[in-house]
């Protein structure tokens, strides 16, 4: 066990535990934040009430994983031979430990994932029983849920597990699940859109390359997958998917139940589904334009038409960010290098120019800039994944990595059952003095 990710993690956990314990014991009454009526009625925006050391989202700068910007993460994680993007398995190591793995350490994680990637037959049966008209996110969530019978955590909990050891079987469950997600996703894709042709997983490949293999798409789709999974993995713990995963896991539901739940949150159009909505929106414009690139004025009109009909412009705005999302910029750079002449990229780039000033003039959105979802579908489309209903499944594979890392640490640090308090409207009216 010495030298493995699990060993290193156990050392990090031992070092970290006294910090949480001391904060609770000596400083438990220190005030962190206060809460206003608009926050209570406004989706708890900005209330500081969660802890995670895995990522931090600065409104102006964007996400940092373990203190590193995405560019630093991409520059410093080891890469497969000849690849432009790093091992996704190395990212999991970084998120869990806070350290960049060396080549040997990353290869150990790749091997761990490879050993655990076989998907039980009954999962395929459940997927096959869905009508082909089902949304892939519903199938993905159910397939993950079905795996709950495999949970080591449940088995050990039933047998009488000590609280300080909860993280260990949770770690095993997390690896067992993450290793299977690419195959489950590719199977769903092939069932829905490729008449059920199944391409076998290749145990000699890393996660990104094997996913490209099972999707039947040539290079650089392996790098597209690595980039996609890495940049979508975590965005602090208050967004809908991360928070759902954390909340469900706080009742000691296993990883399978928790990740299935977070996938359901990700499947909403204001969250992860926005990446499919962007493509749907662009396709509608392309149809109206007979595939010609609109002029700036024409594009402005399409944007205003959407706003005037009371709909949001998908891929723009953010609950926390107040600048262009660095995840958007990374994908834009990738697109400029690999698909500069792609017509949909040109459409998306025109939107980048046209939408922010319109949203500013419209005067509602606090952040007029593009988010991650404004670009991710454009790249997928270019490499042949044109079935945009599938895009959020890809997001889900990435997001599961960060949420699993968070849940393992939640268990290691003994974070309790989550239970905020609610009030009634009457109570609020009394608090502000408009009712006796």
| Catalytic choice (232, 235, 243, 271) | 271
Per-residue mark of binding to ligand HAX, 228-247 (x: CB under 6 A):
-----------x--------
214 vs 199: CA distance, rounded Å: 5
396 vs 402: CA distance, rounded Å: 10
Tell me the window of 21-29, 74-82, 194-202, 269-277 that interacts with ligand HAX (CB under 6 A). 269-277
The verdict on 364 binding ligand HAX (CB under 6 A) reads: yes
| Residues in Cβ contact with 30 at an 8 Å cutoff, skipping those fewer than 6 apart | none
Among all chains, which residue has been given the structure tokens 């700036």?
296
Nearest-5° angle of CA 329, CA 236, CA 239?
90
Beta strand pairing call for 68-69 and 55-58: unpaired
The verdict on 366 binding ligand HAX (CB under 6 A) reads: yes
Q: Which residues pair with 57 in a beta bridge?
A: 63
| Residues in Cβ contact with 364 at an 8 Å cutoff, skipping those fewer than 6 apart | none
Tell me the closest approach of the beta carbon of residue 170 to ligand HAX, in angstroms: 25
355 vs 370: CA distance, rounded Å: 8
Cis amide leading into 220 (omega within 30): yes
Tell me the closest approach of the beta carbon of residue 204 to ligand HAX, in angstroms: 33
User: In Å, how far from its chain's centre is CA 173?
Assistant: 18
Task: Tell me which of 246, 318, 332, 411 binds ligand HAX, using CB under 6 A.
Answer: 318
* Shorter beta-carbon distance to ligand HAX: residue 14 or 48: 48
Has 362 been annotated as catalytic? no
The verdict on 373 binding ligand HAX (CB under 6 A) reads: yes
319-348 binders of ligand HAX (CB under 6 A): 319
Give residue number: closest CB to ligand HAX: 317
The verdict on 365 binding ligand HAX (CB under 6 A) reads: yes
Task: Tell me which of 178, 185, 313, 407 binds ligand HAX, using CB under 6 A.
Answer: 313
* Shorter beta-carbon distance to ligand HAX: residue 146 or 371: 371
* Shorter beta-carbon distance to ligand HAX: residue 189 or 281: 281
Q: How far is CA 21 from CA 28, 32, 206, 406, in A?
A: 10, 17, 38, 18
Among all chains, which residue has been given the structure tokens 């205003």?
304
171-190 binders of ligand HAX (CB under 6 A): none
The verdict on 316 binding ligand HAX (CB under 6 A) reads: yes
124-153 binders of ligand HAX (CB under 6 A): none
Tell me the closest approach of the beta carbon of residue 149 to ligand HAX, in angstroms: 30
Has 271 been annotated as catalytic? yes
Task: Tell me which of 35, 41, 270, 431 binds ligand HAX, using CB under 6 A.
Answer: 270
Task: Tell me which of 317, 377, 396, 398 binds ligand HAX, using CB under 6 A.
Answer: 317
Has 373 been annotated as catalytic? yes
172 vs 156: CA distance, rounded Å: 11
The verdict on 315 binding ligand HAX (CB under 6 A) reads: yes
Task: Tell me which of 145, 286, 312, 339 binds ligand HAX, using CB under 6 A.
Answer: 312
The verdict on 393 binding ligand HAX (CB under 6 A) reads: no
With CB under 6 A as the rule, give the number of residues binding ligand HAX. 21
Tell me the closest approach of the beta carbon of residue 404 to ligand HAX, in angstroms: 18
| Catalytic choice (318, 325, 349, 382) | 318
Tell me the closest approach of the beta carbon of residue 28 to ligand HAX, in angstroms: 31
- Structure tokens of 359? 């949203």
Beta strand pairing call for 68-69 and 62-65: antiparallel
List the catalytic residues: 271, 318, 373
Footprint on this chain of ligand HAX (rule: CB under 6 A): 239, 270-272, 274, 307, 312-319, 364-367, 371-373
């Amino acid at each position: 066990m010495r030298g493995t990710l699990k060993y290193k993690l156990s050392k990090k956990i031992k070092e970290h535990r006294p910090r949480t314990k001391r904060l609770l014991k000596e400083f438990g009454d220190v005030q962190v934040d206060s809460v206003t009526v608009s926050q209570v009625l406004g989706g708890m925006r900005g209330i500081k009430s969660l802890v995670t050391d895995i990522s931090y989202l600065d409104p102006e700068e964007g996400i940092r994983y373990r203190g590193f910007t995405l560019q630093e993460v991409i520059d410093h994680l080891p890469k497969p031979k000849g690849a432009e993007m790093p091992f996704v398995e190395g990212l999991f190591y970084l998120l869990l430990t806070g350290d960049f793995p060396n080549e040997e350490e990353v290869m150990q994680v790749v091997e761990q994932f490879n050993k655990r990637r076989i998907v039980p037959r009954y999962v395929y049966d459940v997927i096959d029983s869905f009508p082909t008209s089902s949304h892939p996110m519903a199938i993905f969530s159910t397939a993950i849920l079905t795996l709950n019978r495999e949970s080591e955590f449940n088995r050990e909990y039933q047998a009488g597990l000590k609280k300080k050891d909860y993280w260990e079987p949770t770690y095993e469950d997390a690896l067992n699940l993450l290793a299977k997600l690419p195959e489950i996703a590719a199977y769903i894709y092939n069932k829905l859109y490729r008449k059920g042709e199944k391409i076998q997983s290749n145990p000699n490949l890393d996660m990104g390359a094997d996913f490209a293999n099972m999707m039947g798409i040539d290079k650089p789709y392996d790098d597209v997958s690595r980039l996609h999974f890495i940049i979508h993995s975590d965005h602090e713990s208050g967004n809908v998917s991360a928070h759902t995963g954390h909340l469900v896991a706080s009742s000691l539901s296993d990883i399978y139940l928790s990740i299935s739940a977070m996938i359901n949150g990700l499947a909403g159009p204001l969250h992860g589904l926005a990446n499919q909505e962007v493509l749907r929106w662009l396709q509608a414009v392309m149809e109206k334009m007979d595939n010609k690139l609109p002029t700036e004025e024409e594009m402005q009109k399409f944007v205003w038409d959407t706003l005037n009909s009371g709909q949001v412009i998908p891929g723009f705005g953010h609950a926390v960010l107040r600048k262009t999302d660095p995840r958007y910029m990374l994908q834009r750079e990738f697109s400029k290098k690999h698909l500069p002449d792609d017509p949909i990229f040109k459409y998306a780039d025109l939107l980048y120019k046209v939408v922010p000033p319109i949203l500013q003039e419209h005067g509602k959105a606090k952040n007029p800039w593009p988010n991650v979802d404004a670009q991710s579908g454009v790249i997928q489309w270019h490499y042949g994944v044109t079935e945009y209903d599938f895009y959020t499944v890809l997001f889900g594979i990435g997001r599961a990595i960060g949420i699993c890392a968070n849940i393992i640490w939640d268990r290691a640090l003994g974070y309790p059952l989550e239970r905020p308090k609610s009030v009634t409207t009457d109570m609020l009216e009394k608090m502000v003095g408009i009712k006796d």
